[in-house]
Amino acid sequence: MFFENQHYRHAALAIAKTGGPVFPTGQPHTSPWTTTVGGQMAFGGWSPEGQERWKKMRDKVTGACQRPHVVQMEAECLARLRAKHGVDGEGRAAAATPASKRDKLPAAEESDNEFL
């Protein structure tokens, strides 16, 4: 959605970077669904058309997440990440390493030596 909103602007900037025509920066209305010249605007400057597009895309992604193969893939990915980072299914981290159980350094003693 965000890429789609800025596609023409970023494509023109990339073309200008490779030696094509210069894209004039600072111009208003270079994106189809947002405006940058409105100051403090409701919904961060997103137009009603952009908000409607956002709702359609959100519904599409939410619906896709409920499909069985996506749920299975997400469960498998979470299992791999938990195994890799040592987190069990309850959200607890693995047991502490021996290095973290070492005794703490004793508190520094005051000394007359100004170099310590």
Structure tokens that stand for 55 in this block: 């709702």
The number of distinct structural domains making up the chain is 1
Q: What is the pLDDT of residues 12-69, one digit of tens each?
A: 888 888 988 887 777 777 777 877 776 677 777 788 888 899 899 999 999 999 999 9
Whose CA is closest to 31, among 53, 7, 52, 54? 7
The answer to whether 14 and 35 are in contact (CB under 8 A) is no
User: Is residue 97 a part of any domain in this protein?
Assistant: no
Q: What is the pLDDT of residues 61-100, one digit of tens each?
A: 999 999 999 999 999 999 898 888 877 766 666 666 676 6
User: Is residue 52 a part of any domain in this protein?
Assistant: yes
User: Is residue 28 a part of any domain in this protein?
Assistant: yes
Distance, CA of 49 to chain centre: 24
Contacts of 114 (CB under 8 A, 6+ apart): none
User: Is residue 12 a part of any domain in this protein?
Assistant: yes
User: Is residue 91 a part of any domain in this protein?
Assistant: no
Structural domain of 42: 2-85
User: Is residue 103 a part of any domain in this protein?
Assistant: no
User: Is residue 53 a part of any domain in this protein?
Assistant: yes
User: Is residue 26 a part of any domain in this protein?
Assistant: yes
The answer to whether 1 and 54 are in contact (CB under 8 A) is yes
Helix residue ranges per DSSP H, the chain: 2-17, 48-65, 68-85
